Structure 1
Amino acid sequence: MRTDKESIWYEQYPKEIPLEISYEKKPLPAFLKESAAHYADHHAMSFFGKQWSYQQLLTDASSFANQLIKLGIEKGDRVAIMLPNTPQSVISYYGVLMAGAIVVQTNPLYVERELNHQLIDSGAKAIVCLDMFYPRVMKAMENTSLEHVIVTGIKDALAFPKNILYPLTQRKNNEMKVQVDYNETTHHFHKLIEDGESVIPEVDIAPESDLALLQYTGGTTGPAKGVMLTHYNLVANTTQCLRWMYKMRQGKEKTLAVLPFFHVYGMTVSMNLSIMHAAELVILPKFDPEEVLKTIEKQKITLFPGAPTMYIGLLNNEKIHDFDLSSIEACISGSAPLPLEIQQQFEEVTGGKLVEGYGLTEASPVTHCNLIWEQRKEGSIGLPWPDTEAAILTQHGQFAPKKEIGEIAVRGPQVMKGYWNRPEETSAAFKDGWLLTGDMGYMDQEGYFYIADRKKDMIIAGGFNIYPREIEEVLYEHDNIQEAVVIGVPDPYRGETIKAFIVKKEGAEVNEKQLDDYCRSQLASFKVPRLYEFRNQLPKTSVGKILKRVLIEEEKEHRTSGHPS
C-alpha cells in the first residue's frame, strides 16, 4: 500500500504515524490480559467514585465468562448486552468475548418491537440487561432463542453510601421499583461474578475468522442488519486509532466514557482503545452537561471522544467557564459533521485539540480522521487511516479524478466480514473488494476527503443514525394515516431533527400529540419525529413515487426565507 500512487494522503502524515502497521493476530480480550499484567493496580474504570483496577476488571470478566460457559454458552453463541455505560457493560463485553461468544450490542432505548427483531435475527441465547429494562425484555422474548436473562442494576456498581442512597433517590423521583423473579433462567449479574471462577477460560479463537461482534445498523431497504465484525477487525481499528493518537501515554491517560458503548464508535474509540492502552475509563451513563464539566475538572480527563451535540451542549452551558477543563488533550468527534465554530470555541475553552473523523459501522467504524496535532482542513473528514485505502468511484464504478464527486469506497483490515445471514446484501455492499459507503464525496489534491452528501435518506440526529424507512413503516401502520414520509431538517443542537409529512385517510382525524404517543410506543425515543406537517397530498413522480427531495428543498427554502415550516 505504501507504493500505491493514489495514496497521496501518506505524504501528509507526520513521522510519528506509520504508513503500515503490523497488527497482532490475537483475540480482543488479550489486550485486557496484557494491561492487567503490566498495570495490575492501575485504575481501569471509575464510576461515581468507585474504581476497578485492571486486575479486578480481568478477574470479574473471567468470572463472568466462566459462568456463561456453565450456563451452556458455547463458542459462537450470541449474547446480547442491553446496558447503558456502566462498569457492568465493560465486564460483560469482555466476559462474553473471553467465553468465545459473540457480543450483540443492543440499544437500551429500544422498545419491544425493535428488541424482538434483533433477538430473533441474531439468535441470542442470553441477554444482560439493567433491572429497569427487565419488563421490556420479558415482553420481547416471544419467538426468540433466549434461554437466560442476566440482570444488574446501577446501584450494584456504586460505592457506599451511594449504593444505599440510589434506590431512595429512585423512589423520590417516583421511578417504579422493578421486581425481578430470579430463578434457573433469570440470574443476578453480581452474584454470578461473585460465584464464578477467576481463572481465564481456555477458548480457541481464530481472530481473523471468528466473530466478536454483531452490531446492528438500520437500512433504507429493510429491517436492521447485523454487521459481522471479527476480533481482527476490532483489534485493527483500535490499533489504528492508537497510532493516530500517537501522543497517548500508556497507562497514564483518562478517557471520559460518555459516548455509548453500545454504539460502535464509543465501543472502539472509548472502551477498546482505553483497555488496549491501559487508560482509565471514567464512565458516565448518560450525557449531562454539568455532570460532564464536573467530571472533567475533578478527574482531570485527558481524552474526550464525543459527538458534535455533546460539544455544543457544553459550550451552551452557562457554567462552562466555572470549570477548569485544561486537562483535555485530544477529542475525536464523530457520528455527525462538526461545525467549524464549535471546534474553534471548544479548543479555545479547553486548550486541547478537537478534530472530526469519519466512519461507518461496517468498518469498525473509523476509516478517516483529521490530524490532531498537525494540519487540518475546514470541512474535511480528514485523511484515511494507516492501511486504509479510500477511493472516489463514479456511477460507472471507475476511479474519479481529484475534486470530482462520487461515492466513497474503502478497503482495509477494519472492514466487516459481511451482514449476518444476508449474503445478497453483503454482495451488494462490495464492488471488486471495495466497501461502498453510500456517502458521496471527493478528494482534494493532498488526499483530504470531503462529504458532499451522505447516505440516501439517512438522518443523523444527536449522533444517532436514523433511517426514515423504519419510521415511515410504523406511521403507515396507524389506522388514520394514508401516506407518510420522513425527512431530516436542520437543528442547531441535534444537527438534524426528524420531520414527518402526513396525509390522513379521508374522514379520519389524528393530531400531533396522538402521533407522538403512538410513535413512542413503537420506536426508540431518538427515532420519534419532533415535527409533523399535515398535507392533503404529497409531491410524486408520474409513477406515484413520493418525491422526498422536493420536500427537502421546500424545507431549505422556508428556512432560508426565515419562515421554517
Structure 2
Amino acid sequence: MPDFYSKVGSLPHVPDDLTIPQFILDYAHPIRPERPNGVPWLVTDRSGRKIHLDEIQRRTNGLAVGLKEKFSIGSNDPVLFFSTNHVDYPVCMWAVHRILGIVTPCNPSLTVPELVKHLRLSKSSLIIAHVDFLDTVCAAAREVGLSTKRIIVLPDQDSQTVNLTEFVSVDDLVAQGLKSHNTVEDVKLAPGEGKERIAFYSSSSGTTGEPKIVQISHYAFIANVLQIASLNKVNEEYDDWEKRRYRSGDACLAVLPFYHIYGLVLILHFNIFSAMAVIVVPKFNLKEMLQSIVKYRISSLMVVPPQVVLLCKNPIVNNFDLSSVRAVLCAAAPLTAELYDQLGQLLPNICIGQAYGSTEATGVVSMCPVEQKCGMFGGVLAPGVVGRVVKADGTLGDYDEEGELYIRTPAAATGYLNNDAATRDTFADGWIRSGDLVKVDKNHEVIFIDRLKEIIKVRGFQVAPAELEGCILDHPFVGDVCVVGIPHAYSGEVPLAFVVLTADGMNTAEKDGEGIELCSSPLKHVADNKASFKHLHQVEITDAIPKTPSGKLLRRELREKARSLAQSAKL
C-alpha cells in the first residue's frame, strides 16, 4: 500500500531563512489574507483594549533591546515563560525570538518540584512570570540557584501596574528599551538556517515515559501555520462566503492556553496570520466565555472536549445568543460521537470539525477540510504531510486497516532536548512514530482509535503514568504501582492507580478496616506534589501488578480492569 498523502493540495512555499516574528509581523506570504482596516491583532477580553500591529512592533522591539541590555539574553539562550494567557505573551515570545533566544512555555499550574525539574532540563536562566505565580517561581528559582532578579513580571493584562519594587516588569523593560540609543538588528538567517535554529522548548510527554522537552525550529513552526492556512483556504475565493469557516476580520476567542501547542500554533499564530482578531482570555470560565461570545460577536471557537461538555450540558448556555458562531474546532483529545451529536443539536447551523496533531509535529497533522461542513473524525492530512499506518506485524496498512500512525511532515520537531534515546525511538528515519492506533478511511479521514502507549490525556493535557508512578512509589505504604487512564465525562480521561501495599501498609489497612485511609493517602500524596491536572481520580488496592517476564507493566490488563470498575461505578 502506498503512503497516504494530503487530498487538499500541495504545501505552499515555506521560507527557511525567517524567524517567527519576521514571518508573522513583517512577511507578506502569497496565501496570507489582507487584514481589514481597523481590525486589531489582539484584544483584552475583560476591558476590550485593542492592540494593533504598530503597538505590537514597538513593544516587541523595545522589549528585545531591554532583554539584551539588562539580562544579556542572546542566541540560543532559553527563557522560561510561566503565565496564563496575556496580550503581552506573544510580545514577550517575539522579543526573545528577535534576539534568537529560545522560548520555553510552561503550564503555570506546575508545582515547585515540577518547575525545578523544567528549569534544570531547559537550563533557562531567565523567567517571565505572571504576577499571580510569583510564589511558585521564586521558590523554584531559589532551588536551582537562580537569582530572583532574573524574574520578569507580567502584570494582570487589564491592570498594567505592578507594585513589586524588587522585580522588573515587562513594561519597565519595554520603556528601557525604547529609551535606549541601542537597537536590536533584525538578523537575517542564512538559507536553511531556520530548520536548525530552535524557537521553542515545548513540553510533551512524548509517546511514552517521563515528560520531555520538544525542540521546535522556526521553520517547523512556520510550516505548520502555513499547513493549517492552506488546508483552510484562508485566502481563496469560493462559494458561500457567509458560511466560510475562517474569514479575515473575524474574531476568535483565545480561551485555551498559549503554553499548549494547540493554543500556541492554532489559536494565536494561525488566527493572526489569517487576519483575525484574537480575544485574549486569561482564564477559562464558562459564563464569562459565553458573555465574551456575545460581546465580541465571536465567529470561531477553538476548544477541547471538556469545554464542549459544558456547552452541551450546562443550562446557562440557553441564556446567551450564540448565533455569531460559525465554526467550532475541537482538538487536543478526541470528541466522542455522543458529544459531537449534542453539539450539533445545540448549534445546528455551524461547522463542527476536529483536528489531530501532536507537539512532536508542531501542532496540526490533520483537520476537517473546508468542503466538509461537519467532521466527527480527525480530518484529512494537511498539505505536506505523509502518513503511514503500520500494522502490528510491521506491514503497511491499507484503507480501513488499523495500525500505528507514522507521520512525515516539514513541521516535525528536531527531537527531544537531551534525550537521544527517546528521540531515536520517536523520530525514526524521517518519520514521527505517533504511538496512536488509527485507521484511514476511503475519504482519507484519519480515525483515531486508541493510544498504543501509556499517555493519559486529561482535559487535553498529557499526563505520563510513569511520572505519577514515581511519585506514588515515594509513599512509604506503596510497594508497587501501575497508573492507567479511565474514561471521564468531563476530563476525557483521569488517572487511576492500582497500588500494592508494603507490609506496613497492609498492617495499616487491617487497622483501618476497609482501607479508606490507604486509598486517600496516595491521592493526597500526588495532590501535594503534582499539578492539578495530574491528580489521581481513584486508588484501587490490589495484590499484584501484572508484568511480563522482563518486568514490563501489562497496562492493558489493568486498563480493562479499570474500565470495568468505572462502568460498575456508573451502574
TM > 0.5 between the two?
yes
Structure-to-structure mapping, 1:283-432, within 5 angstroms: 283-350=280-347, 351-374=349-372, 378=376, 380-395=377-392, 397-432=394-429
Structure-to-structure mapping, 1:233-272, within 5 angstroms: 233-246=220-233, 247=244, 251-272=248-269
Distance 1:24 1:309, change over 3 A: same
Distance 1:439 1:492, change over 3 A: same
Cα displacement (A) at 1:333: 1.1
Structure-to-structure mapping, 1:60-79, within 5 angstroms: 60-70=59-69, 71-79=71-79
Partner residue of 2:151 out of 149, 152, 157 = 149
Q: What is the aligned-residue RMSD (CA, Å)?
A: 2.6
Distance 1:255 1:79, change over 3 A: same
1-structure distance, mates of 2:245, 2:342: 23
**Greater relative contact order (CA < 8 Å, ≥ 6 in sequence):** 2
2-structure distance, mates of 1:541, 1:424: 22
* Amino acid corresponding to residue 89 of structure 2 in structure 1: S
Residue deviations 1:258-316, cap 9 Å, x none?
11100011100101112222321101112211111110111011121111111111222
Q: Partner of 2:79: helix, strand, or coil?
A: strand
Match of 2:451 in 1: 454
Partner residue of 2:213 out of 226, 230, 234 = 226
Matched, 1:518 2:525: yes
Distance 1:144 1:100, change over 3 A: farther
2-structure distance, mates of 1:360, 1:544: 29
Matched, 1:33 2:62: no
Distance 1:251 1:477, change over 3 A: same
Q: In the alignment, is the contact (CA less than 8 A) between 2:99 and 2:184 conserved in 1?
A: no
2-structure distance, mates of 1:75, 1:542: 48
Q: In the alignment, is the contact (CA less than 8 A) between 2:60 and 2:95 conserved in 1?
A: yes
Q: Partner of 1:136: helix, strand, or coil?
A: helix
Q: In the alignment, is the contact (CA less than 8 A) between 2:484 and 2:559 conserved in 1?
A: yes
Residue deviations 1:238-266, cap 9 Å, x none?
11111222246664021100111000111
1-structure distance, mates of 2:225, 2:362: 9
Q: In the alignment, is the contact (CA less than 8 A) between 1:46 and 1:282 conserved in 2?
A: yes
Partner residue of 2:472 out of 475, 485, 489 = 475
Partner residue of 1:193 out of 164, 171, 174 = 174
* Amino acid corresponding to residue 14 of structure 2 in structure 1: Y
Q: In the alignment, is the contact (CA less than 8 A) between 1:41 and 1:55 conserved in 2?
A: no
Match of 1:170 in 2: none
Q: In the alignment, is the contact (CA less than 8 A) between 1:41 and 1:54 conserved in 2?
A: no
Identity, in percent, stands at: 25
2-structure distance, mates of 1:310, 1:226: 27
2-structure distance, mates of 1:103, 1:553: 40
Distance 1:559 1:385, change over 3 A: same
Deviates more, 1:498-507 or 1:340-349: 340-349
Unaligned runs of 5+ in 2: 29-33, 234-243, 509-516
* Amino acid corresponding to residue 126 of structure 2 in structure 1: A
1-structure distance, mates of 2:401, 2:40: 49
Structure-to-structure mapping, 1:156-167, within 5 angstroms: 157-158=157-158
Deviates more, 1:27-36 or 1:55-64: 27-36
Residue deviations 1:366-416, cap 9 Å, x none?
1011224427554x3121101110111234544223322221001111111
Structure-to-structure mapping, 1:518-537, within 5 angstroms: 518-537=525-544
Distance 1:96 1:528, change over 3 A: same
Partner residue of 1:202 out of 181, 186, 204 = 186
* Amino acid corresponding to residue 421 of structure 1 in structure 2: N
2-structure distance, mates of 1:347, 1:554: 33
Q: Partner of 1:139: helix, strand, or coil?
A: helix
Partner residue of 1:24 out of 10, 15, 34 = 15
Cα displacement (A) at 1:446: 3.1
Q: Partner of 2:303: helix, strand, or coil?
A: coil
Match of 1:172 in 2: none
Residue deviations 1:335-362, cap 9 Å, x none?
1111233233324433321211101110
2-structure distance, mates of 1:80, 1:559: 39
Match of 1:214 in 2: 201
1-structure distance, mates of 2:333, 2:315: 24
Distance 1:296 1:377, change over 3 A: closer
Match of 2:554 in 1: 547
Distance 1:138 1:145, change over 3 A: closer
Residue deviations 1:515-548, cap 9 Å, x none?
3332122111100102122234334455655432
**Please, what TM-score do these two structures have when normalized by structure 2?**
0.87
* Amino acid corresponding to residue 307 of structure 1 in structure 2: V
Cα displacement (A) at 1:93: 1.5
1-structure distance, mates of 2:435, 2:146: 33
Matched, 1:488 2:495: no
Matched, 1:57 2:56: yes
Q: In the alignment, is the contact (CA less than 8 A) between 2:119 and 2:144 conserved in 1?
A: no
2-structure distance, mates of 1:554, 1:193: 56
Distance 1:431 1:397, change over 3 A: farther
Deviates more, 1:503-512 or 1:461-470: 503-512
1-structure distance, mates of 2:285, 2:72: 39
Cα displacement (A) at 1:331: 2.3
State the number of aligned residues. 533
**Please, what TM-score do these two structures have when normalized by structure 1?**
0.88
Matched, 1:280 2:261: no
Q: In the alignment, is the contact (CA less than 8 A) between 2:77 and 2:102 conserved in 1?
A: yes
Q: In the alignment, is the contact (CA less than 8 A) between 2:477 and 2:502 conserved in 1?
A: yes
Q: In the alignment, is the contact (CA less than 8 A) between 1:40 and 1:54 conserved in 2?
A: no
2-structure distance, mates of 1:377, 1:250: 19
Residue deviations 1:181-209, cap 9 Å, x none?
62xxx422221122222866423443222
Cα displacement (A) at 1:88: 2.4
2-structure distance, mates of 1:248, 1:28: 25
Match of 1:137 in 2: 137
